């Protein structure tokens, strides 16, 4: 059944004492959405399930970008079917991009699922769970457009020291390989004051690093949710500079920009704002102009490399990473060699490489020239070999240099015999370091010297040169996580009249 609205539901009536688990697939946007889902459930009375324990409610926050996303999801849901059969009060909910795409068909494939909700209405989840329990009937609610910014919803953050902050939702691009715009809608931007209020709230709770999130962050300012705020193409650069004025905010990152809209004012803001990190993730996708045209990527290789040159002129030590798709329909040997040429010229510190996968509903799925799997695999391995060598060389060049690390938890594999811990350098590189006799906590900051390198990480077995305990480290040690509630517009469109919140709105 397709339901509309949820004002009358009171999910707190039966949520008390029930536990939940959220399983996340896909991009950083989904990771942040999962923090919102956790916040919603906890606000409704649910408790997070202990590690390894069975949860009363399991929520799948799905991705639809890769070809195997469907199979992976339905396989994981099927593993819960026997438990659902033995415990009818256990509930399964599926949200995210795959739910938005499959809708009621999801229940046909997995009839034991209790709730299906879309990308535009994650705030409906607690009410839908309660309604499914009360009615003993599966609930499907898929909104066709954004009802509320995810930032207006409570969030149970995963980290005490680093946080995602959404600056926009949706995307106005029409890349032929991508289904995201169809599932997340057109771009709508949050007001700068709302974003900065959320960042200040996080910093007040000890967070040291924020990552500004959007499908196309440097298009920020194209379409503000508040219709009284005019379009502003300089809004993203201004937002970066405003983040630089927030006391206690030590690191600012953003992802992902689009090369077609990358402007010099953003480069200047990055270089001139001390807490904006010297790191840039900018998708290339292909180095062939012919393939870029077929992808509807409105830039060419020369423009892309020009942006990199200007970034490195302003920030010589910037680490630049990218996304690349191998085997797009019609890609020739010459097209692939053009991609390798750009990779060699750009000298990325890392690249996220993907074999093209056919996604139903995208224009590329209907293009002629779909390549055999063995051709795509061979090219993928060649690209991987070239990029791994470049990554190793770029990392090896840092041996002997000092790095400031924000100590992290759960990042990368470490040799237990060395007692190494992990941290992120300001440029985003992962560093495995030896703490020595220093009592180091995630969320604290230290300086050390790079002693070794591999393609995907650095090693620092030298003595710790400087160590600073932080409020984020205190919070992590105490098991505390920052929470944000009600920051942003309550609805999309002209804001309703509300009492001042003290959050800078």
Residues making up the binding site for [4Fe-4S] cluster: 27, 63, 97, 171, 175, 178
Cα–Cα distance for residue pair 49/329, rounded to 1 Å: 44
CB 454 within 8 A of CB 430: no
Cα–Cα distance for residue pair 450/453, rounded to 1 Å: 8
Q: What is the dihedral of CA 486, 147, 125, 118, to 10 degrees?
A: -140
Q: What are the beta bridge partners of residue 350?
A: 321
Residues 6+ apart with CB under 8 A from 327: 355, 356, 371, 375, 376, 379, 380
What 3-state class would DSSP assign to 166?
strand
Angle at 405 between CA 404 and CA 409, to 5 degrees: 180
Which among 8, 66, 17 is positioned nearest to 41, based on CA atoms?
A: 17
What 3-state class would DSSP assign to 417?
helix
**How many residues comprise the chain?**
505
Residue 55 φ then ψ, to 5° = -100, 150
Give CA 107 to chain center in angstroms.
Answer: 27
CB 273 within 8 A of CB 236: no
Joined together, the tokens standing for residue 219 give 């298009």
Cα–Cα distance for residue pair 131/140, rounded to 1 Å: 11
Joined together, the tokens standing for residue 422 give 């992990």
Which among 187, 170, 93, 106 is positioned nearest to 132, based on CA atoms?
A: 93
Cα–Cα distance for residue pair 476/411, rounded to 1 Å: 15
Kindly give the pairing relationship between strand 457-460 and strand 251-255.
unpaired
224-259 core/surface letters (b: 16 or more CB in 10 A; e: else): bbbeebeebeebbbbbbbbbeebeebbbbbbbbbbb
Q: Binding site, residues?
A: 27, 63, 97, 171, 175, 178
CA 235 to each of CA 221, 230, 311, 466, 472: distance values in angstroms, whole numbers, following the listed order? 5, 10, 19, 37, 29
Kindly give the pairing relationship between strand 466-468 and strand 445-449.
antiparallel
């Amino acid at each position: 059944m397709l339901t509309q609205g949820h004002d009358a539901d009171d999910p707190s009536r039966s949520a008390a004492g029930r536990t939940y688990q959220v399983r996340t697939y896909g991009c950083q946007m989904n990771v942040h959405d999962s923090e919102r889902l956790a916040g919603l459930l906890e606000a409704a009375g649910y408790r997070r399930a202990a590690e390894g324990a069975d949860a009363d409610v399991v929520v799948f926050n799905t991705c639809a970008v890769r070809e195997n996303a469907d199979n992976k999801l339905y396989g994981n849901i099927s593993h819960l079917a026997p438990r659902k059969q033995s415990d009818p009060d256990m509930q399964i909910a599926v949200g995210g991009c795959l739910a938005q795409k499959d809708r009621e068909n999801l229940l046909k494939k997995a009839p034991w699922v209790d709730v299906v909700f879309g990308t535009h209405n994650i705030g409906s989840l607690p009410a839908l769970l309660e309604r499914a329990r009360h009615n003993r009937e599966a609930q499907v609610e898929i909104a066709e457009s954004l009802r509320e910014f995810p930032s207006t919803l409570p969030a149970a953050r995963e980290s005490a020291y680093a946080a995602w902050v959404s600056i926009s939702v949706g995307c106005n691009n029409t890349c032929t390989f991508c289904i995201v715009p169809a599932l997340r809608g057109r771009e709508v931007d949050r007001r700068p004051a709302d974003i900065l209020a959320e960042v200040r709230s996080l910093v007040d709770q000890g967070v040291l690093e924020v990552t500004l999130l959007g499908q196309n962050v440097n298009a920020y300012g194209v379409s503000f949710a508040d219709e009284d705020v005019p379009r502003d193409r300089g809004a993203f650069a201004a937002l970066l500079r405003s983040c630089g004025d927030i006391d206690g905010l030590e690191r600012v990152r953003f992802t992902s920009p689009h090369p077609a809209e990358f402007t010099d004012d953003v480069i200047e803001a990055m270089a001139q704002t001390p807490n904006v990190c010297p790191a840039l993730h900018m998708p290339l996708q292909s180095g062939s102009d012919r393939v870029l045209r077929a992808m509807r990527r409105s830039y060419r290789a020369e423009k892309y490399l020009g942006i990199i040159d200007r970034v490195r002129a302003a920030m010589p030590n910037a680490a630049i990473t990218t996304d690349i798709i191998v085997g797009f329909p019609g890609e020739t040997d010459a097209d692939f060699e053009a991609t390798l040429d750009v990779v060699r010229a750009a000298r990325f510190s890392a690249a996220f490489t993907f074999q093209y996968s056919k996604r139903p509903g995208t224009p590329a799925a209907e293009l002629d020239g779909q390549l055999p799997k063995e051709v795509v695999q061979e090219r993928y391995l060649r690209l991987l070999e070239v990029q791994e060598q470049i990554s190793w060389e770029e990392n090896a060049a840092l041996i002997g240099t000092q790095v400031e690390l924000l100590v992290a938890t759960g990042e990368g594999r470490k040799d237990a015999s060395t007692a190494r811990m992990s941290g992120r350098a300001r440029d985003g590189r992962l560093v495995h370091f030896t703490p020595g006799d220093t009592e180091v906590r995630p969320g604290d900051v230290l300086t050390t010297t790079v002693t070794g390198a591999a393609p995907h990480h650095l090693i620092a077995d030298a003595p710790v040169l400087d160590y600073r305990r932080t409020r984020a480290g205190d919070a992590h040690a105490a098991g505390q996580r920052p929470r944000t509630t009600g920051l942003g517009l309550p609805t999309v469109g002209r804001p309703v009249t509300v009492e001042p919140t003290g959050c800078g709105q």
